[in-house]
Amino acid sequence: MSGEPELSRSSVLAAYETIKPFVHRTPLITSSSLSASLPGGNALYFKAENLQKGGAFKFRGASYSLERLSPEQLAKGVCTHSSGNHAGALALAAKERGARCFVVMPSNSAPPKIAAVRAYGAHITFCAPSAAARAAALEDVRARTGAAFVPPYDAAHTILGQGTALLELLAQAPEHGERPAAVVVPVGGGGLLAGTALAADGTGVRVFGAEPAGAADCARGLREGRRVEEFVPETICDGLRTPVGKLNFPIIQEKVEDVIVVSDEEVVEAMKLMWERLKLVVEPSSATAFAAVRSEKFQALGIKGPIAIIITGGNVDLSQPLPWAA
C-alpha cells in the first residue's frame, strides 16, 4: 500500500471498515444528572474512548497507520517518539500484529506511561526532554532498525483513524435518543479534531474543539489565520501540550466552528464531576471538552439537541494525589 488517502468523510468510512476488527466499540454513556446541571439541559453523549485499547482513542489512528504498511515494512517494525498515549497505542497495535515497536521517550515521562509501553513489549530509547533530542534519537533508531515512523497526529492515516470515533458515536446515538447537534473534542496536535471534522462533514453535526488556556495555540491560530508553532505550554493537560499539526490546521480552519478555551481550574472541576457522575477515570486532557460545554461561551450559543463529547483517555498516574486534592 502506498500513496496518501484523500482527507474526506468517505476516507474516514473506509478507515473504519479497515480497523473495525481491531478496535473496541467503546460505550456511549449518558448522564441525566450532568445534563440537568447544564443551563440548557442538553442531553450529553460521552464516547468513552478511555475504555479503548491502551486507554485512549490513539489506538484508532495507530491501528490504521499500521494498515498502510507493506508486510516487508511491518517486518522491520515501527517507531515513534511520544511521552504519552500515542506511544502506548502504537506499542499495543504493533504487538497485536507481531511487529517490533521502538519508542523514543523523554527521560522525564510519567512512570506509568513508561510501564505501559514496556508492558506492550516495545523497545524504549530514553532521550533528553527536548524536541531536538527527540528528533535526533528517533533518527538514530530509524537508521539502526529501518523501522517505519508512525507520527502521533500530523499524518493522513492518523487523522482518518481518529475520525472513526465519531462515526461509531453517530451509529450508537439512536439507541439513546436523537442524533447529536454538536460534538466537542479536545485539541492537542489536532488529529482527533481534524478527523472528527472530516467524519462530521455533511451530517449537520456542528464541530467544536476545546483547549486549555495554557496551550491554546489552535484557538490563537484560528484568530490569527496562521498556525502557531512557538509557545511554551503550561497546563495540567499533559496530552494537549503539542502544537497543532501542519496537515491538521487547515482542516480545522475550514470545518471547525470554534475552539473554546478553558482554564485549568475549569478542567479540574469538570474532571471531578466526570469521575463522580460517570464513574470513569478520565485524564485532565479529556475533561477540557466537558469544561468547554459548561462554559458561558458555549452555553451562549443556545444549541438545542444532544451534545456529544469524546472522552479521549484515562491514563492517569493514580499513585499521585488527585488534582482537586493536590
Q: How far is the CB of 21 from its own copies (least distance, A)?
A: 13
> Binder to its own copies among 13, 110, 124, 280 (CB under 8 A)?
280
38 touches its own copies (CB under 8 A): no
- Nearest residue (CB) to its own copies, 101 versus 282: 282
Q: What cell numbers appear for 89 in the block?
A: 497505542
Q: Which among 142-150, 191-199, 241-249, 268-276 is the span making contact with its own copies, rule CB under 8 A?
A: 268-276
Binding region for its own copies (CB under 8 A) out of 77-85, 122-130, 214-222, 313-321: 313-321
Asked if 51 interacts with its own copies (CB under 8 A), we say yes
Residue 204 lies near its own copies (rule: CB under 8 A) = no
CB atoms within 10 A of CB 221: 20
User: How many whole angstroms separate alpha carbon 58 and alpha carbon 36?
Assistant: 31
Q: How far apart are CA 202 and CA 24, in angstroms?
A: 26
**Closest C-alpha to 267, from 313, 310, 236:** 236
Helix (H) or strand (E) run with residue 125 in it: strand 123-127
Among residues 11, 42, 50, 288, the one that binds its own copies under rule CB under 8 A: 50
Choice between 97 and 220, CB closer to its own copies: 97
Concatenated DSSP letters of 48-107: EGGGSGGGBTHHHHHHHHHHTS-HHHHHH-EEEE-SSHHHHHHHHHHHHTT--EEEEEET
Minimum separation from the CB atom of position 95 to its own copies (A) = 10
Q: Which string of x and - marks every residue 107-146 that binds its own copies (by CB under 8 A)?
A: -----x------x---------------------------
318 counts as binding its own copies under rule CB under 8 A: yes
Tell whether residue 279 is a contact of its own copies (CB under 8 A): yes
Give dist(CA 139, CA 142) in Å, integer: 5
State the Rg of the chain over Cα. Answer: 18
Residue 26: exposure state from Cβ atoms within 10 A (0-12, 13-18, ≥19):
buried
DSSP character string of 133-162: HHHHHHHHHHHHH-PEE--SSSSHHHHHHH
How far is the CA of 207 from the CAs of 189, 267, 301, 309, in angstroms?
16, 20, 13, 10
Catalytically annotated residues: 58, 83
How many chain residues are in contact with its own copies, going by CB under 8 A?
25
Q: How far is the CB of 281 from its own copies (least distance, A)?
A: 4
- Which listed residue (101, 147, 160, 278) binds its own copies by CB under 8 A? 278
| Residue 174 is a binding residue for its own copies (CB under 8 A) | no
Report the residue from 128, 131, 171, 322 that binds its own copies according to the rule CB under 8 A.
322
Per CB under 8 A, residues contacting its own copies are: 27, 29, 32-33, 50-51, 53, 55, 112, 119, 272, 275-276, 278-282, 314, 318-319, 321-322, 324-325
